[in-house]
Amino acid sequence: MTVKPEWLRVKAPQWERVGTVKETLRDLGLNTVCEEASCPNIGECFNAGTATFLIMGPACTRACPYCDIDFEKKPKALDPTEPTRLAEAVRRMNLNHVVITSVNRDDLPDGGGSQFVACIEAVRAVCPQTTIEVLIPDLCGNWEALRLILQAKPEVLNHNTETIPRLYRQVRPQGKYERSLELLQQVRQISPQTYTKSGIMVGLGETDEEVRQVMQDLRQVGCDILTIGQYLQPSHKHLAVQIFVTPEQFDAWREWGEAIGFLQVVSSPLTRSSYHAEQVRHLMEEYPR
């Protein structure tokens, strides 16, 4: 299935603004998941002056067949200057809300938790009014590393479940559905004031019932915010799209998710984990903790 439907077409961005963001990123030697993972919204987000920073990368220690991030290169040692450079980018871009994510670093004892902490602290020091969202890997179940990240007090802790349990072995072979749920539950127990978030992609052969079960599972572990988006095949080497889900189905999941208690459900074909993530600031005002 190669022909994309009309609803997956994106508008051409204003390249002058896009170029400014790219110049900042190149000047400071920073990676973004927008570029490394071939996000379809890169033009819109860069045009709006935002980006999702990818730390400890761009080489990943896992080989998920849906993801376009490089897993063939050997990960490098952590760069102690990265947090400072990231904070400077947040300052230059004048971000009200920043999303910091990472590749999987299973080669590190803490899964990279200490680098997340350093980045949070660096941004706090330079831009104290900026709210911080971290999109973290599962840390191989290292909950002490998770505790340290939470002690740095990011406003939002995001960890994606990505898909339904039945497809985990195919889609996320080095991940565990139960471990991802446990991570989110640990966040709720360790830091009740932190907003928790997760995301799933659809179009890989899941049923409506299976998607709704994942949504129920996420609510049972206290997940506050959910994103649902269409999976798009990055190249012929990646998993093939099984179906292009209609906008109406995304609307139905959003309505149902809100009905079962999510504070926010962002559900549309082009939705990604950090798409319009800055909207969480309004959510925090409406549901303060």
Q: How many CA atoms lie within 13 A of 126 on its CB side?
A: 21
Question: What residue segments make up the domains of the chain, in order of their start?
Answer: 6-286
User: Rounded CA gap, 103 and 61, in Å?
Assistant: 8
What sign for the dihedral angle of Cα 252, 253, 258, 263?
negative
Q: Please report the DSSP string for 137-193 in residue order.
A: --GGG-HHHHHHHHHT--SEEE---BS-GGGHHHH-TT--HHHHHHHHHHHHHH-TT
Can you name the residues that pair with 134 across neighbouring β-strands? 100, 157
**Of 257, 265, 201, 200, residue with least CA distance to 231:** 201
Residue type at position 185: Q
Q: How many CA atoms lie within 13 A of 37 on its CB side?
A: 25
**Going residue by residue through the chain (289 aa), what tens digit of pLDDT does each one get?**
457 888 887 665 555 555 677 888 889 999 886 554 455 555 556 555 567 899 998 889 998 888 878 777 889 999 999 999 999 999 999 999 999 999 999 999 999 999 999 999 999 999 999 999 999 999 999 999 999 999 999 999 999 999 999 999 999 999 999 999 999 999 999 999 999 999 999 999 999 999 999 999 999 999 999 999 999 998 888 999 999 999 999 999 999 999 999 999 999 999 988 877 888 999 999 999 9
CATH topology of domain 6-286: TIM Barrel (3.20.20)
Answering whether pTM is above 0.85, one says yes
- Radius of gyration over every alpha carbon of the chain, rounded to an integer in angstroms: 18
User: Rounded CA gap, 226 and 61, in Å?
Assistant: 26
